[in-house]
Structure formats: C-alpha cells, structure tokens
Amino acid sequence: DAGVIQSPRHEVTEMGQEVTLRCKPISGHNSLFWYRQTMMRGLELLIYFNNNVPIDDSGMPEDRFSAKMPNASFSTLKIQPSEPRDSAVYFCASSNRRGNNSPLHFGNGTRLTVT
Amino acid sequence: AQSVTQLDSQVPVFEEAPVELRCNYSSSVSVYLFWYVQYPNQGLQLLLKYLSGSTLVKGINGFEAEFNKSQTSFHLRKPSVHISDTAEYFCAVSRNFNKFYFGSGTKLNVKP
C-alpha cells in the first residue's frame, strides 16, 4: 500500500500565477478530502468528494480555488490566480466509506509558498 | 455542528514521564473520535479511534485514550514517553465519516 501520494512536495510561485496540486488516493478508497493547514487557522477542510463527486465545497475560500476528481485515482486542487495569503501546507486525504467506517489517511502534503 | 477543543497548545515533558493530552468536543449527536499524530514535514497518521464499545481505546506506540461521554472528553495518555514521541497531536471528531473536525493541535515536546 503506497498510501496517499501528493505532488509536488514543495511549490514556490509568484503572486498571480496558477498553481495545481495533485493527489492520488489509496487504491479502493472512494472518498477524498482536501485540507489546508496554517499556523493561524489550523486544519481546514476545503472540499471532499464521494465516488468522484464533490459533496461539500463550502470550505473553499474563494472562486480562485477549484478542485476536480476526474477519476477514482486522481484529484487536483487549483488556485488561479495565487496570492501570498494562500501560502500553507495542503493535504489530501482519502478514506473507504464502503462497509466499515474508515478514518482518514493523509498524504505528506504540499507546502505552497506564494511570493 | 461539531467542534473540538484542545486546551493545551504545547506540552513539555521529560522522557519516561507520563503524559496526558486533553481533548473536549461538543456535539448534539453521537460522534466518532480520533487522535492523529503529525511528525515534522509529514501528514497526519492515525493513532487510535473510538467507534463504540469499551471506553478505553488502545492505539499504536503505547498510546491510549478514554472516552468520557458525560464530560464530552477524549483525553490521550501514555504512561512513559520517548524522545521519538515529540510531534503534534490532533484530536478529531466525525458524525458520519463525511466531515472530520480537527482540534487546533497540541505540540508534545519530550525532553531528555
């Protein structure tokens, strides 16, 4: 089991640029979550998907943020245009909601720095 | 809605001493409870979970937690900590495994 895989691990970009973060959930998991972690706000849920369908995106801060899950093995979180206040660590997590209640399994995160 | 409070942002402790990290939650319905650990530059890893049954839950690395419904608490304990336990610990609740609500975290600093 390779776990949840996120790329890139680090991203440094200039304000105004488009940023795309990628996530590969654990094979067989059917729920996927995007979180943002900052010192000030802690862990915030941005959006989650069940069976590739966005269920709740109420945590997405602004229209500059968008997330997609085109298939069960891939998801992206895009920020366009990026701003310095978007600097944070972004985590992807997955779980298996079929049958047994499954906790979250996190990736190692993408540290985003917007200058 | 559910919320989680971790009153201690930092807990310093000497190696081999016992430790308790506090977690209180608020919810009008039954919830499931979790503790996660985060090591530097890594994602969160599950330590233990309470779903139902015995209120004392044992997890990995010698940690355990006790669910107290009357006090709405789920404190994490370890009888003897190691340097390697230095990390940040997060308490979380979920009503239906859709949304997970995390506390603000407690940084455990184990000193030699």
Test mutation, B44, B47, B104, chain A, max A CBs within 10 A: B44
Residue B28 has pLDDT above 80, yes or no: no
By the 8 A CB rule, do A59 and A45 touch? yes
DSSP code of B29?
Answer: S
Q: Is the dihedral of CA A105, A111, A112, B1 positive or negative?
A: positive
At A28-84, the pLDDT tens digits run: 999 999 999 998 889 999 999 999 999 999 999 889 999 999 999 999 999 999 999
Does the pLDDT value for residue A100 go beyond 90?
A: no
pLDDT value, residue B2 = 75
Residues of A in contact with B49 (CB under 8 A): 103
Instruction: Provide, rounded to the nearest whole percent, the portion of chain A with pLDDT above 90.
Output: 86
Query: What is the rounded average pLDDT of the residues B53-72?
Result: 93
Q: Rounded mean pLDDT of A89-98?
A: 90
pLDDT of residue A50: 93
* CB within 8 Å: B43 and A93: yes
